[in-house]
């Protein structure tokens, strides 16, 4: 049987990943302060983004994502390795992103990738200290 602490950690990390998705899709950038450590390193270059320190990434997300009419960050199938107050996670992401051209027609870009995360337990709960995207595919309709 899995120890209670491990069950709790897994649920808290699952909730953390969900909060990230909702924060991104709702454009609620300040919620990301409860997802990442203040000194987190994030690398979104595999899908055409930037990499850098969390404050830079947060500002970039706030400037780029509102260009899309709709995004849905759907995370699933997390492989999680817990080691006390640290953890490593590999999570599959399916992300449809809707844009609108000058004529008003909508276009959907489908992004499939994996997040590779390093997480730490802080006094405020689990946080992502490092995130790297691994591109799977990108296609548009």
Percent of the chain scored above 90 by pLDDT? 97
CATH code for the domain of 56: 3.10.450.50
pLDDT, tens digit, 9 for 90 and up, residues 72-87: 999 989 999 999 999 9
What domain range includes position 87? 4-140
* Cα 6 from Cα 35, distance rounded (Å): 19
Q: What is the pLDDT of residues 2-40, one digit of tens each?
A: 899 999 999 999 999 999 999 999 999 999 999 999 999
Q: Is 110 helix (H, G, I), strand (E, B) or coil?
A: strand
Rounded Cα gap, residues 53 and 37, in angstroms = 10
- Alpha-carbon distance 140 to 8, whole Å? 39
CB atoms < 10 A from the CB of 43, how many? Answer: 16
Helix H or strand E encompassing 62:
helix 54-64
Domain count, the chain: 1
């Amino acid at each position: 049987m899995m120890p209670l602490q491990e069950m709790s950690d897994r649920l808290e990390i699952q909730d953390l990943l969900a909060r990230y998705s909702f924060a991104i899709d709702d454009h609620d950038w300040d919620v990301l302060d409860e997802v990442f450590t203040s000194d987190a390193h994030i690398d979104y270059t595999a899908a055409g983004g930037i990499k850098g320190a969390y404050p830079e990434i947060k500002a970039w997300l706030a400037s780029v994502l509102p260009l899309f009419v709709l995004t849905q960050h759907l995370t699933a199938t997390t492989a999680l390795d817990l080691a006390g107050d640290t953890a490593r996670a590999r999570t599959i992401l399916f992300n449809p992103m809707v844009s609108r051209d000058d004529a008003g027609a909508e276009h959907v870009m489908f992004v499939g990738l994996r997040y590779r995360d390093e997480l730490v337990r802080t006094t405020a709960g689990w946080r992502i200290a490092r995130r790297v995207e691994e591109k799977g595919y990108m296609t548009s309709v």
